Amino acid sequence: MNNAVLRDVAVLIARIALGVVFIAHGWQKFSEWGMEGTAGSFEQMGVPVPTVSAWFSAIVEVVGGALLIVGLAVPVAGLLLLVNMFGALFIVHLESGIFAADGGYELVLVLGVTSLLLAAVGAGRFSLDQVVAPRLAQGAGALVKA
């Protein structure tokens, strides 16, 4: 296997893993807590416009996670997921330090920067982006060069 194939296999694995985590967190907001409960929790944490933020967060996590898994619009999904995670980092978790067990930001930081990385490098050859928009599969950098 050449380096390009190994890179694309690694990107595929990362996309699937990250997508599963985001779908799980977004689905939890819908199914376990409900949007009313999620918005109430966001309000207690000081998240601005908690109802809108709850819906944004849940939709971006579920839809963005699914897009990562299938490899469709990955630069856009990655950037939206980054915005979502950085909102969580700066509004909710930063004051609690790094460790997630203490309410800290380690998980949202890793999820956010991994989303940024996928936005930058793209979905790779094993993706729907490769089928529908090959330049998109190469990430945001390829779009800027155009």
Identity at 87, one-letter amino acid code: G
CA 93 vs CA 3, 42, 59, 66, 99: distances in Å: 38, 12, 21, 25, 9
User: For the residues 50-70, what does the mean pLDDT come to?
Assistant: 98
Tokens 């799980």 -> residue: 24
Distance of CA 23 to the CA centre of its chain: 9
Give the CA dihedral 18, 90, 63, 139, nearest 10 degrees: -60
Q: Is the pTM of this model over 0.85?
A: yes
Confidence of residue 43 (pLDDT cuts 50, 70, 90): very high
- 25-38 confidence digits (pLDDT tens): 999 999 999 999 99
- Give the model's pLDDT for residue 146: 53
CA distances from 77 to 43, 45, 48, 66 (A): 25, 25, 22, 9
1 vs 115, more confident: 115
- Overall average pLDDT of the 124-140 stretch: 92
Maximum Cα interatomic distance, the chain, rounded to a whole number of Å? 51
| Distance from the Cα of residue 136 to its chain's centroid | 17
Give the length of the chain: 146
